């Protein structure tokens, strides 16, 4: 048996096993690092809602900071120990919070969809050391769905992970519908070539 062909078969078999057994969604969640929301100017005791990648640009005057701020990053709807509610957002340089009733800005959560996304990404049911451990999902667009997992610790610090379905689904489809079949065909082609060449070798030896 040609050693180079045997090696090629082994490599293709290993790659094919990885392509069809690797769960990119769960792997992506495990590899995603926790991101710090930053130091909020209010004492956060409860997290009402969190958007890890806001689709809207928020611009307003923060009277506490005394300047106009623009938020394009994460947004948190929070509650303090005294029951006051705030909308806090990441301005990239600091956290800006304004008080008020933002209940109309908080989307109704699709619990069934969020549970499904948690299962797809392999999100653990509990997290040690977290006062609150919540998941918020955007389930409006099928493959455009995303999931934000948030933890609030005893010091009122927020950390979060954001995972998106679309890019992973595209990669997964390419791997399983294109790369996988190519690897399998390569294995079959090499094996066929090896067996096809054997009779000719016997004739020459005779």
Residue 119 domain flag: no
> Does the pLDDT of residue 203 top 80, yes or no?
no
User: What b/e string do you get for 80-101 counting C-beta neighbours within 10 Å, with b at 16 or more?
Assistant: beeeebbbbbbbeeebbbbeee
Section 5-17 average pLDDT: 85
Residue 185 domain flag: yes
Tell me, what's the pLDDT at 206? 46
Residue 164 domain flag: no
Residue 126 domain flag: no
pLDDT range class, residue 149, cuts 50, 70, 90: very high
Q: What percent of the chain has pLDDT over 70?
A: 91
> Mean of the per-residue pLDDT values for the chain?
84
Q: Please give the residue range of the domain that contains residue 182.
A: 3-21+169-205
Tell me, what's the pLDDT at 197? 61
Section 151-158 average pLDDT: 90
Question: Do 65 and 88 meet the contact criterion of CB atoms below 8 Å apart?
Answer: no
Cα–Cα distance for residue pair 118/115, rounded to 1 Å: 5
Question: Do 117 and 137 meet the contact criterion of CB atoms below 8 Å apart?
Answer: yes
> Does the pLDDT of residue 140 top 70, yes or no?
no
Domain total in the chain = 2
């Amino acid at each position: 048996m040609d050693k180079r062909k045997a090696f090629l078969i082994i490599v293709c078999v290993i790659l094919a096993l990885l392509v069809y057994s690797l769960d990119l969604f769960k792997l992506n969640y495990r590899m995603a690092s926790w991101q710090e929301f930053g130091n909020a100017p209010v004492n956060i005791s409860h997290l009402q809602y969190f958007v890890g990648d806001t689709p809207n640009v928020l611009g307003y005057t923060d009277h506490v900071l005394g300047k106009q701020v623009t938020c394009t990053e994460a947004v948190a709807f929070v509650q303090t120990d005294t029951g006051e509610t705030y909308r806090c957002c990441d301005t990239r340089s600091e956290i800006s919070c304004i008080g008020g009733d933002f209940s109309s800005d908080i989307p109704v959560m699709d619990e069934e969809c969020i549970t499904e996304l948690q299962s797809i990404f392999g999100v653990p049911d509990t997290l040690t050391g977290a006062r609150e451990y919540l998941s918020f999902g955007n389930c409006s667009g099928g493959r455009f769905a995303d999931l934000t997992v948030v933890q609030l610790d005893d010091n009122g610090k927020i950390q979060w992970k954001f995972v998106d379905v679309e890019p992973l689904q595209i990669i997964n489809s390419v791997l399983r519908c294109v790369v996988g079949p190519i690897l399998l065909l390569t294995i079959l082609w090499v094996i066929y070539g090896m067996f096809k060449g054997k009779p000719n070798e016997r004739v020459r030896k005779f």
